[in-house]
């Protein structure tokens, strides 16, 4: 049996459940992290917004290559095998008919649902996933808490497969502000309470620090990151993972 975690970006699966993934691997499970939006930007100049993010990340024009290397380092720390899909991050994507950027600022990243113009990417991802998954795989996808376009894309594509063994994970750090609410993805899912040893929490934090380009987006310094992860685990560990009510295979 193989566990497949779908990560919208080059960090989301590790951010959200890196400690649990590390623990699974210590128990002999095979775990892979498949990053959906890991493709290179299209040819041509970047939008001003994308350029501003590259400047914040201090990556220059090689942002995607830098982030893939960061993800490989993080996956190595927790023992997971990475796989990358060619879909560009939404900051690089354009409307298929109008030819205009779908994201021009922070506010455009977050939507109540997936824009209809993005549905061709859902179809593309569904075909890719269907070709790679086997009947014995367990697929784990994000809940899309926070409403990020790429998280919506990932969850929507996973659900189109209609798998009876689809699991969900809460998207961190967006989940931190919502973990005291009812996060149940469907009425047929129930939470899997986590009970992780200290080594798992250490591995989780260390793996997150591998994403050097992204740390400043969420935390002012490493001590704040560590406190937030520990707070999240201690207060929200009963809502991080959701399993189908059908018996696990």
The per-residue pLDDT for range 210-248, each reduced to its tens digit, is 999 999 999 999 999 999 999 999 999 988 999 998 654
Gap between the Cα atoms of 30 and 32, Å rounded: 7
Gap between the Cα atoms of 172 and 20, Å rounded: 13
Helix (H) or strand (E) holding 223: helix 222-236
Burial of 169 (0-12, 13-18, 19+ CB in 10 A): buried
pLDDT confidence of residue 102: 96
SS (H, E, C) 29-53: CEEEEEECECECCCCCCCCHHHHHH
pLDDT confidence of residue 182: 61
For residue 191, what are the contacts with CB-CB under 8 A and spacing of at least 6? 184, 238, 239, 240, 241, 242, 243
Show the low-confidence residues of the chain (pLDDT under 50): 248-249
Whether pTM exceeds 0.85: yes
């Amino acid at each position: 049996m193989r566990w497949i975690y779908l990560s919208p970006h080059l960090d989301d699966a590790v951010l959200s459940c890196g400690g649990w993934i590390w623990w699974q691997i210590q128990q002999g499970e095979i775990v892979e992290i498949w990053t959906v939006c890991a493709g290179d930007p299209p040819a041509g100049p970047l939008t001003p917004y994308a350029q501003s993010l590259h400047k914040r990340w201090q990556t220059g024009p090689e942002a995607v290559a830098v982030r893939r290397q960061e993800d490989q380092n993080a996956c190595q720390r927790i023992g997971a095998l990475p796989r990358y899909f060619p879909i560009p991050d939404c900051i690089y994507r354009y409307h298929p008919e109008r030819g205009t950027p779908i994201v021009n600022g922070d506010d455009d990243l977050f939507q109540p649902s997936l824009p209809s113009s993005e549905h061709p990417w859902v179809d593309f991802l569904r075909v890719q996933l269907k070709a790679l998954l086997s009947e014995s795989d367990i697929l784990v996808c994000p809940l899309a808490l926070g409403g990020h376009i790429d998280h919506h894309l990932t969850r929507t594509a996973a659900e189109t497969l209609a798998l009876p063994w689809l699991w969900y994970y809460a998207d961190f750090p967006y989940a931190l502000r919502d973990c005291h609410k009812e996060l149940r993805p469907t009425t047929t899912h129930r939470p899997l309470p986590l009970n992780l040893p200290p080594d798992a929490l250490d591995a989780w934090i260390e793996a997150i620090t591998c994403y050097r380009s992204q740390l400043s987006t969420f935390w002012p310094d490493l001590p704040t990151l560590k406190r937030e992860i520990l707070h999240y685990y201690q207060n929200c560990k009963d809502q991080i993972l959701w399993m189908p009510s059908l018996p696990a295979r």
